[in-house]
């Protein structure tokens, strides 16, 4: 559900940047007051895990479409909404800057759609009341499913409304919504199942994280190693098995639009050029040589499955490390701000 710049007008894109930036600032302020420094490593490792998990698109049967984990709800359950929003914003920023996944103009919209709805609506209003204290596995599974579905539905509706408000395509609200919402219902079910499995694992391994999220009662070494190893395995190897079908947004656009997209101009063209210069592994692969990029359409070899590529493995590892670093930097800045704002002892 990563939006491209082509879907948004500069005005709508800028508005969503302001909205996402405002939520990010409020999240940083709340995290600064509430968090314990020992949560920063967990935030970083979970960010790397979500980055890797988003590389695996799973096929939606009988549709020709695919979906991937959003991760916002899982992060909110394990870290709390403020920390989760900062982590998902870091993941999406790394994806846009270094892998050209999602547009730069659309980055604010992507952060809002994939971060705000699961972290600040689905988690506190749906998951927490239904899951209770987490002692009932059935309640955790039911809460994860319902919260994930509603979060994905709200995010998909956000994409539709932002695209229609931009007024730069021939999309109709009814047609676009009728395609986006059902396909993301299926994606939400899968996300809910994955979320429940991971949450139940952490509940069994470290129940203290839920009882006292901001102050772990014991070192997090084993949990950090587990998620770091999972991120490396998923990004480095399992990403080869991602579905080649278009994701839910691309699939919906293919069926809702007619004709070719307009050529990007003005600020969009400038942002696209900037993104091309910054992206080190565009589309999660090594950049194709100029000769290959300029070849005639239809001359490329048919993709095999699994699609074993060194570039994909490198993307999974590099992206995870970059996300880890970005979250650590954010956590370090918050820690320094907190210390400088604290009154001197004595």
CATH of the domain at 326: 1.10.1760.20
**Is 62 a domain residue?**
yes
- Is residue 334, in this structure, part of any structural domain at all? yes
Structure confidence at residue 34 (pLDDT): 64
Residue at 156 is within a domain: yes
Count of helices and strands (H, E) across the chain: 14, 2
Which residues in 17-167 belong to E strands, given as ranges?
A: 58-60, 65-67
Looking up tokens 């999309």 gives: 171
> Which is nearest to 101 in space by CA: 316, 304, 324?
316
299 assigned to some structural domain: no
Residue 216 pLDDT: 62
Distances (CA, A) of 197 to 4, 59, 138, 145, 170: 31, 19, 11, 11, 41
> Do the Cβ atoms of 99 and 284 come closer than 8 Å?
yes
Burial class (CB in 10 A: 0-12, 13-18, 19+), 92: buried
Per the DSSP assignment, residues forming a β-bridge with 67 are 58
The total number of structural domains in the chain stands at 1
State the pLDDT at residue 288: 72
- The rounded distance, in Å, linking the Cα atoms of 213 and 34 is 10
- Could you give the CA distance from residue 143 to residue 123 in angstroms, rounded to a whole number? 9
Strand partners, 58: 67
In a domain, 203, yes or no: yes
Q: Is the pTM of this model over 0.75?
A: yes
Can you list the residues of the chain whose pLDDT is less than 50?
A: 214, 297-301, 345-346
- The alpha carbon of residue 118 and the mean position of all alpha carbons in its chain are separated, in whole angstroms, by 11
Tell whether 91 is covered by a domain.
Answer: yes
**CA-to-CA dists, residue 195 to 53, 69, 259, angstroms:** 11, 9, 38
In the beta sheet, which residues pair with residue 60?
A: 65
Per the structure block, which two tokens stand in for 249? Answer: 């947004």
Q: Domain span at residue 130?
A: 5-286+305-341
Burial 49-67 (b: 16+ CB within 10 A, else e): bbbbbbbbbbebeeeebbb
Q: CA–CA distance from 22 to each of 9, 27, 94, 256, 334 (Å)?
A: 20, 9, 19, 32, 16
- Counting beta carbons within 10 angstroms of the beta carbon of residue 178, is it exposed (0 to 12), middle (13 to 18) or buried (19 or more)? middle
**Segment 76-113, tens digit of pLDDT:** 999 999 999 999 999 999 999 999 999 999 999 999 99
Give the DSSP per-residue string, 203-229.
HHH-THHHHSTTS-SS--HHHHHHHHH
pLDDT at 126: 97
Q: What pLDDT was estimated at residue 346?
A: 46
Looking at the domain assignment, is residue 65 inside a domain? Answer: yes
Q: Is residue 151 part of a domain?
A: yes
């Amino acid at each position: 559900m990563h939006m491209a710049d082509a879907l948004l007008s500069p005005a709508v894109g800028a508005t969503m940047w302001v909205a996402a930036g405002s939520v990010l600032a409020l999240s940083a302020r709340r995290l600064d007051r509430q968090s314990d420094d020992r949560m920063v490593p967990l935030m970083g490792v979970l960010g790397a895990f979500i980055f890797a998990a988003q590389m695996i698109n799973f096929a939606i049967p009988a549709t020709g479409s695919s979906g991937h984990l959003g991760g916002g709800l899982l992060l909110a359950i394990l870290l709390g909404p403020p920390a989760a929003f900062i982590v998902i914003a870091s993941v999406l920023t790394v994806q846009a800057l270094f892998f050209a996944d999602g547009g730069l103009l659309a980055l604010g919209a992507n952060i809002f759609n994939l971060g705000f709805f699961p972290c600040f609506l689905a988690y506190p209003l749906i998951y927490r009341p239904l899951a209770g204290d987490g002692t009932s596995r059935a309640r955790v599974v039911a809460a994860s499913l319902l919260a994930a579905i509603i979060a994905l539905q709200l995010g998909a509706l956000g994409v539709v409304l932002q695209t229609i408000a931009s007024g730069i395509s021939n999309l109709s609200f009814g047609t676009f919504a009728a395609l986006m919402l059902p396909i993301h219902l299926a994606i939400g079910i899968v996300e809910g199942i994955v979320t429940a499995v991971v949450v139940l694992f952490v509940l069994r391994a470290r129940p203290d994280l839920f009882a006292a999220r901001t102050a772990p009662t014991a070192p997090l070494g084993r949990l950090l190693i587990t998620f770091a190893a999972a991120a490396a395995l998923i990004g480095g190897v399992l990403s080869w098995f991602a579905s080649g079908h278009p994701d839910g947004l691309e699939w919906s656009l293919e069926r809702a639009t007619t004709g070719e997209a307009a050529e990007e101009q003005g600020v969009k063209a400038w942002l696209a050029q900037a993104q091309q210069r910054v992206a080190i592994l565009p589309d999660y692969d090594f950049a194709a040589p100029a000769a290959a990029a300029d070849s005639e359409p239809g001359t490329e070899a048919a993709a095999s499955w699994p699609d074993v590529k060194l570039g994909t493995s490198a993307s999974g590892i590099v992206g995870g490390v970059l996300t880890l670093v970005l979250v650590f930097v954010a956590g370090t800045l918050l820690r320094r701000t907190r210390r400088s704002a604290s009154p001197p002892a004595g």
